[in-house]
Amino acid sequence: MNIAVILGLLFAFGSRDGDAPPVILVSGPPVAAFSTGSPSGAGAAHWEEAPDAADARRKVTDKEADAALVTDGDRTRLILRPNSPAAARDAAAAAAERWATSRALQRQNVDEERMHALVAEALPAPELVGDPALGGTGLGAALGVVTILFFQIFGYGMTVAQGVVEEKSTRVVEVLLATLTPLRLMTGKVLGIGAAALLQIALFGGSVVVAVRFGHVLPATFPAAATMAAAVAWFVLGFAFFAFLFAAAGSLVSRAEEVSGAVMPVLMATMVPFAVAVAAAMDLTAPWVRIMQYVPPFSMLIMPLQVSAHAAGWAENLTAAALMASAAAGLAVVAARVYERSILRMGSAIRWRAALGSRRGLTAD
């Protein structure tokens, strides 16, 4: 159901007014008279011929086209809707200006081919510097992916904590610990819920790739497959980083209504990387972002953004992943210590400081 909703939203909001190329009609001279010299490539205007001015006006009105150029002798009319895309307006106006200039040069007996050759020689050669940046739609898509990751980690982390509390309150955990060590029990809980979460995030990633591939709802330059692959991989690391902490938080309390208070420190910790990732998206080339993309747990949300902007390759991702995995392993050890000391204690909630301290301090508390 969630996947169907996501696909529906992607197709619904992937309108022509965004990144699809505008359609411009030409009535009168051949289409080449206007389309020649227009920009080409992704997002370039699509030129079509209209049999007459009435047909062109009807198609623009009915939104079958975005603009039309109708020529009558030496005069040209530009037909637009009030909400015609800016790209269509600009492309049609520029084409009309080129056509009018060409007609004026012909009347002055100017050698156009010679003139264009001289102009082409004098034009500056483009030189791109700096790192690639996300456009408006691409940035929105990347932030959407990051937001989904955050809510998945938070939502399934809460599921882990609630599952631990349920087992503890019903004393099922006492039966399980007769055959399993606390660490194995906690790890099994995290892996089981994590597998369900991974399946859902993988289905989400597949739906986004399908929507981009066949629905054309994002720019052609947006690396949907690479971004979603990075999102799935970083979700695994991010979930591993926080899930054991959620499990440890759940072991501190004995009643379901106390879960929210126990997980509050962990919840606040998950919100910090999300806030940093949103800030980083404003300028992914900033020096502080280049540093934070390697720092756990911020890397779990910043790295997918960098991949979506073509700014992070295998080397950067593997380096950040190694650091994240090491940090997750260290936190798992700490969480196991808390879980082992708290899971069999019933009654009032146990404080984090007490659970992390010595066993004597825990007993006294």
Rounded to an integer, what distance in angstroms lies between the CA atom of residue 194 and that of residue 200?
10
Residue 44 confidence (pLDDT) above 60: yes
Residues 6+ apart with CB under 8 A from 309: 131, 132, 133, 134, 138, 142, 284
Mean pLDDT in residue range 112-125: 75
Rounded to an integer, what distance in angstroms lies between the CA atom of residue 92 and that of residue 79?
9
The number of CA neighbours under 13 Å toward the Cβ of 67 is: 28
Residues 167-191 pLDDT 10s: 888 888 888 878 888 788 888 899 9
Rounded to an integer, what distance in angstroms lies between the CA atom of residue 40 and that of residue 23?
13
Q: Which helix (H) or strand (E) holds 91?
A: helix 86-107
The whole-number pLDDT of residue 194 equals 92
Integer-rounded Cα radius of gyration of the chain: 30
pTM: 0.64
Instruction: From 316, 308, 312, select the one nearest 143 (Cα to Cα).
Output: 308
The whole-number pLDDT of residue 75 equals 77
Output the six-digit token pair for 320. Answer: 């950040």
Mean pLDDT in residue range 89-106: 80
Rounded to an integer, what distance in angstroms lies between the CA atom of residue 328 and that of residue 352?
18
Output the six-digit token pair for 257. Answer: 């209504």
The whole-number pLDDT of residue 349 equals 79
Residue 163 confidence (pLDDT) above 50: yes
Residues 185-223 pLDDT 10s: 888 899 999 999 999 888 887 877 777 677 655 555 556
The whole-number pLDDT of residue 236 equals 93
Residue 264 confidence (pLDDT) above 80: yes
pLDDT band at residue 40 under the 50/70/90 scheme? low
Residues 6+ apart with CB under 8 A from 262: 161, 249, 250, 252, 253, 349
Residues 6+ apart with CB under 8 A from 154: 267, 270
Residue 150 confidence (pLDDT) above 80: yes
Q: Are 63 and 83 in contact (CB under 8 A)?
A: no
pLDDT band at residue 345 under the 50/70/90 scheme? confident
The whole-number pLDDT of residue 41 equals 46
Q: Residues of the chain with pLDDT > 70: what percent?
A: 81
Q: Count of residues for the chain? A: 365
